[in-house]
Amino acid sequence: QVQLVESGGGVVQTGGSLNLSCAAVGDTICIATMGWYRQAPGKERELVATITPGEMTYFPNSMKEDAEKGRFSISRDNAKNTIFLRMNNLKPEDTAVYFCNSEGRKGERRAAGHHCEYYYWGQGTQVTVSS
């Protein structure tokens, strides 16, 4: 089994910064590309960014401008099975529950003999940006 344990959320003023962490614990051979999603009150969950084991990053179109401006960045420490989301110059509209996600290696040869799933989710960490 794999658990994704998030930390780093909290309350911050507009313009502040936060660094979210997500550590994969357990049978970590099962984890692959990891990422962050967020869900604001009354809205659907949306992708923020992903990062592959080879540290290739991806931001959806909705987040590319923020990434290019350095407001959001994603990184990964494979030795610790941990990913990070650095958020700078936070705005009230960034207020949301941030969820860590990992693709699982269910059915992959490299995970033979391991009970992997297709996806894993963390429980979420609240980020609140006050105006």
pLDDT, tens only, 12-71: 999 999 999 999 999 999 999 999 999 999 999 999 999 999 999 999 999 999 999 999
Over residues 110-120, the mean pLDDT reads 95
Considering the chain, what percentage of its residues have pLDDT values greater than 90?
Answer: 99
**What pLDDT does residue 33 have?**
98
Provide the residue type at 128 as one letter. T
**What pLDDT does residue 65 have?**
96
Cα distances from 27 to residues 3, 5, 41, 112, in angstroms, run: 9, 14, 33, 12
pLDDT band at 129 (very low <50, low <70, confident <90, very high): very high
Mean pLDDT of the chain: 97
**What pLDDT does residue 31 have?**
97
Over residues 91-118, the mean pLDDT reads 96
Residue 89, SS3 per DSSP: coil
Q: Give the integer Cα–Cα distance in Å for 27 and 85.
A: 23
